[in-house]
Amino acid sequence: MPRYALKIEYHGGPFVGWQRQRGQRSVQGAIETALAKLEPRAHTIAAAGRTDAGVHALAQVAHCDMERDWTPFRLSEALNYHLMPDPIAIVGCAAVADDWHARFSALERQYQFRLLMRRAPATHLHGLVWHVKTPLDIDAMRTGAAHLIGRHDFTTFRSSICQAESPVKTLDMLDVTRVEGLHGPEVRFDVRARSFLHNQVRSFVGTLARVGSGSMAPEDVKTVLEARSRSACGPVCPPQGLYLAHVVYPDDPFA
């Protein structure tokens, strides 16, 4: 059966998350339903990573197995037709080897979190950012974030329902930058690692936002990390600002 890699963009607002759930709208379920319109049978696709309810993707990657040979262009066009009007788009499609796997072949994943800083409510960006009314100290957050880079036990930043075998992960990048956006100043948190714990990125942002507001000192992030206790973590921020931005493979199938 020919295998295809799909690069997928979606707005997470209407969905319970990536993973298929009985009786509820999921991104995986919507794509599998669209595939069944092309080849009537049960389809199961695998993704580079699961996203929670409300989390978006700029470049989620999944793979599917088809019975007939499709040109990647025709397959992506047909899927986009059957995915309407759901806010899901196949933005890339490529034929891959039979043993290529969207999850297990990935080398690293990159997420971006967007935080909007302004007094007025978010209108055009509603559901796409975490809205914070007060300015945050970017330099302080950047200093605090440096304590999280490297290989650590991230128990503090791990959800109680996380299914990962170990809380020890290597964080390769956590950049904090200010962007003067069209709708006001944003803070962008760009995070990169081979894999993540459940709620790890949102826990990072929630804690760093406390540093930015002045309720924590930058060096307190090291203390929080070393506590290895969920109770030491800042509040987990809302999912609306989180995006799966990029997945890296040894050879980019979409190049």
Catalytic pick among 52, 86, 172, 220:
52
Omega within 30 of 0 (cis) for the link into 253? no
Q: How many CA atoms does the CB half-sphere of 27 hold within 13 Å? A: 29
Distance in angstroms (rounded) separating the CA atoms of residues 70 and 68: 6
Strand partners, 116: 131, 186
3-state helix, strand, coil in the chain (%, to 5): 25, 30, 45
Closest CA to 31 of 98, 102, 87: 87
The DSSP line for 137-194 is -HHHHHHHHHTT-EEEE-GGGS-TT---S-SEEEEEEEEEEEEEETTEEEEEEEEEES
Alpha helices in the chain (DSSP H): 27-38, 72-83, 138-146, 200-213, 220-227
Question: Is residue 52 among the annotated active site residues?
Answer: yes
Distance in angstroms (rounded) separating the CA atoms of residues 27 and 10: 8
Q: Which helix (H) or strand (E) holds 247?
A: strand 242-248
Q: How far is CA 81 from the centre of its chain?
A: 25
In terms of phi and psi (left: phi > 0; alpha: psi -120 to 50; beta: otherwise), the region of 178 is beta
Q: Which residues are catalytic?
A: 52
